[in-house]
Amino acid sequence: MFNDSSFYTDSSLHNTIVLPAKGFSNIYREDLEESDKRIEWLPFDTDEAFLSAKNAIERLLKENGLTKSDVKKYFLSQFAKKNIDIICDQLNEDPEKFKFIGDEFGYTGTSSPFIAFAKSIEEGEIKRGDVIIFWSVGAGITSCNVIYKY
């Protein structure tokens, strides 16, 4: 059962990950280098995105009369294990509550929290009625957070 959600966007970094690098309106220009038609990924600081996860999770729990002890499992973006560890540390939570499947499946993009969720069901780590949290982040920085009662 869907309980609640929140979203966060910081569009100031919109030009750090661009596909294609020079925009779709230029994709067929013959005078462009091949590299200008591929993804351009410039380094940027992602700390704000992960701090937004902690804040969003805590705010959503509070708004719904829940605490971290009510949460059985967290299913976060599987982009990098270190990012999950950062959020776990910021929340001062038990690492066992954070499912990581990136070492088995690699990074599967926006579906990664849901694959982690499916793996937890398969492994009997959650049961009906458990409160779970989904959180993911996208380029830019855009993130979403969902409280769900399984």
At 48 the pLDDT is 66
Residue boundaries of the structural domains of the chain: 2-15+42-149
Q: What is the C-alpha to C-alpha distance for residues 91 and 94, in angstroms, rounded to an integer?
A: 9
Is 78 within 8 Å of 112 (Cβ atoms)?
A: yes
* CATH number belonging to domain 2-15+42-149: 3.40.47.10
pLDDT > 80? residue 90: yes
| Tens digit of each residue's pLDDT (9 = 90 or more) over 46-57 | 666 677 788 899
At 69 the pLDDT is 96
